[in-house]
Amino acid sequence: MRYQPIPNTLFQKNRNNFSSKMEPNTIAILTSNDVKHNNADDVMGFTQNNDLFYLSGIDQEETILVLYPDAHKKENKSILFVKETSEQIKIWDGEKLTKEQATQVSGISRVEWIHDFEMLLQYMAFEADGFYLGHNEYLKRATKDQETQQDRMIQWCKKKYPLHNYHRAAKITRDLRPIKSEVEIAQMQKAADISVVSFKRVLKTCKPNINEYELEAELAYNLIKSGATRHAFKPIVASGKNACALHYNTNDAVCKDGEMILMDFGVCYANYNSDTTRCFPVNGKFSKRQKEVYSAVLHCLKEGSKLLKPGVLPADYELEMANLVETELIKLGLLDADAVANQDPEKPLYKKYFMHGTAHHIGLDVHDVGLYSRPLEIGMVLTCEPGIYIPEEEIGCRLENDYVITENGNSNLTEAMPIEIEDIEALMNNKK
């Protein structure tokens, strides 16, 4: 693996916490994700089911985890099923995990080959009263038009064991995963540290008439060199008017002198993610108007991030952040104070220039699982990302950091990434 091994005590603790929330005499079955193909025999690359990774640390396809806390036999309480390496697999794809290696990674003593799953489950299912099965509930648009391994497991179990009770594994992991352990935060800090170096490379490379994708290449070079798994998501490198499209990521335009670039990017390290956004002038010097807009957004970031602390409801935080941005829009001459005072509260005027939320959970998923009706708690990690988008001026500005909620407020994982105007200009004009 590219990343340093994660202590298997993390996954043991996660399994214990998960098992403690299961109904009595039930079995949990977590499956790996599919390997996705594009054309012919090529694949898109494998990304693990994060609930399975959270509970096992196994980052390999064709894996199943079975948890049966109330099993009569001790050896049936936790069983990991992995793919057995054949001579053909060795030749074409390389070796897969051995049973011993799978135990070392996961901390699960009983490891079996996946082709024995159905037979071994049969013995335990007879004793159990129900099943916990996984499903991607968080983002339905991601799976609405495709059948996943989890879907097939649900269909198979209900056909094979129609009279058992069924429960949602995602309901448990949704409660557990938002609170990060010190080990998890360390992985996220590593991802953030890699992103800091990447950003500095971009600043030193940027110049008028460079292509957006050339700056994207600087991100890719450093994350691979640093042992990261992949981009956390397809980077946004948006110059000029492109920055006003929130999810622009074609990154194929020329960065012109006088424009500002919005770069939203993240690093996936050990399956844990960072998510940051920075803006900077193509020519290394902010114009007067760019500086005004940038300073307004930076003010909102600094003040808004102070609201991320234990006990705060996300909805209350978002309302306060909207008020901050609204005030700055008035100062920038984009909104009229009297019009704002008399606006329809259901159709706030700031939405013309600021149309998205500014905090989301981050962890194994970039938009990590968690209920936004739940107050913030120590150990949660969230982004803070205010923005102002002015299409008529071809200026889009968003600034984003990652914050760990602490007892006294929060800690910024991306604090080392330059964000002050003078620091960005200094780095861009000192190319050595």
* Predicted local confidence at residue 141, as pLDDT: 55
pTM of the model: 0.94
Q: State the fold for domain 182-428.
A: Creatine Amidinohydrolase (3.90.230)
- The low-confidence residues of the chain, meaning pLDDT below 50, are none
CATH 3.90.230.10 segments of the chain: 182-428
* Predicted local confidence at residue 136, as pLDDT: 80
* Predicted local confidence at residue 94, as pLDDT: 85
Q: State the fold for domain 9-176.
A: Creatine Amidinohydrolase; Chain A, domain 1 (3.40.350)
Give the per-residue SS3 of the chain. Answer: CCCCCCCCHHHHHHHHHHHHCCCCCEEEEEECCCCCECCCCCECCCCCCHHHHHHHCCCCCCCEEEECCCCCCHHHCEEEEECCCCHHHHHHCCCCCCHHHHHHHHCCCCEEEHHHHHHHHHHHHCCCCEEEECCCCCCHHHCCCCCCHHHHHHHHHHHHCCCCEEEEHHHHHHHHCCCCCHHHHHHHHHHHHHHHHHHHHHHHHCCCCEEHHHHHHHHHHHHHHCCCCEECCCCEEEEHHHHHCCCCCCCCCEECCCCEEEEEECEEECCEECCEEEEEECCCCCCHHHHHHHHHHHHHHHHHHCCCCCCCCHHHHHHHHHHHHHHHHHHCCCCCHHHHHCCCCCCCHHHHCCCCCCCCECCCCCCCCCCCCCCCCCCCEEEECCEEEEHHHCEEEECEEEEEEECCEEEECCCCCCCCHHHHHHHHCCCC
* Predicted local confidence at residue 412, as pLDDT: 98
* Predicted local confidence at residue 44, as pLDDT: 76
* Predicted local confidence at residue 147, as pLDDT: 82
* Predicted local confidence at residue 91, as pLDDT: 79
* Predicted local confidence at residue 140, as pLDDT: 56
CATH 3.40.350.10 segments of the chain: 9-176
